[in-house]
Structure 1
Amino acid sequence: MDNIKLMISRFHAFDQMYSYEKRLQTFSDWPFREDCLCTPEQMAKAGFVHCPSENEPDVACCFFCLRELEGWEPQDDPRAEHIKRTPNCPFLLMQKDHSEMTLADYLHLSKERLSLFITKLSHMRMAHFRDSVDTAKKNIQKM
Structure 2
Amino acid sequence: MSRKTKKGSKKNSQKENIIKIEHELSEYQNFKKEEYTMLFTNYRLKTFSEWPFDGDNSCNPQALAAAGFYHIPTNTEPDATRCFCCYKELDGWEPDDNPWEEHQKHSPHCAFLTLSKSVEKLTVDEFLKLECERQKNKMKKYFHMKKEELKQHAGNVRAEMAKINR
1:6-17 residue pairs with structure 2 within 5 A? 13-17=34-38
Q: Which residue of 1 aligns with 2:156?
A: 135
1:86 and 2:138 equivalent? no
Partner of 2:77: 56
Runs of 4+ in 1 over 6 A off after TM superposition: none
Deviation at 1:55, TM superposition (A): 4.1
Equivalent of residue 30 in structure 1, options 51, 58, 78: 51
Which structure has the larger Rg over C-alpha atoms?
2
Question: Which AA in structure 2 matches 1:39?
Answer: N
The answer to whether the aligner puts 1:99 opposite 2:124 as a matched pair is: no
TM-score normalised to structure 2 length: 0.71
Report the 3-state secondary structure (helix = DSSP H, G, I; strand = E; otherwise coil) of the residue aligned with 1:56: coil
| CA deviation after TM superposition for structure 1 residue 74, in Å | 0.7
CA RMSD of aligned residues (A): 1.9
CA displacement at 1:113 relative to structure 2: 0.9
Q: Does 1:120 align with 2:141?
A: yes
Match of 1:19 in 2: 40
Q: In 1, Cα distance between the equivalents of 2:79 and 2:122?
A: 30
Structure ranking higher on relative contact order (CA contacts 8 Å, 6+ apart): 1
Inter-CA distance 51–123: structure 2 relative to 1 (3 Å threshold): closer
Query: Are 1:72 and 2:99 matched, yes or no?
Result: no
The alignment of Structure 1 onto Structure 2 pairs a total of residues equal to 133
Structure 1: stretches of 5+ with no match in the other structure: 1-10
Q: C-alpha distance in 2, partners of 1:70/1:12?
A: 26
The whole-number CA distance in structure 2 between the counterparts of 1:57 and 1:123 is: 23
**Which is helix-richer, 1 or 2?**
2
User: Residue type of the partner of 1:118?
Assistant: M
Measured after TM superposition, the shift of residue 112 of structure 1 is: 0.9
SS in 2 for 1:42: helix
Counterpart among 42, 61, 67 of residue 46 in structure 1: 67
Q: Deviations over 1:9-64 (max 9, x none)?
A: xx973421221122122223322114311111110111011222344332221112
The normalised TM-score by structure 1 is 0.82
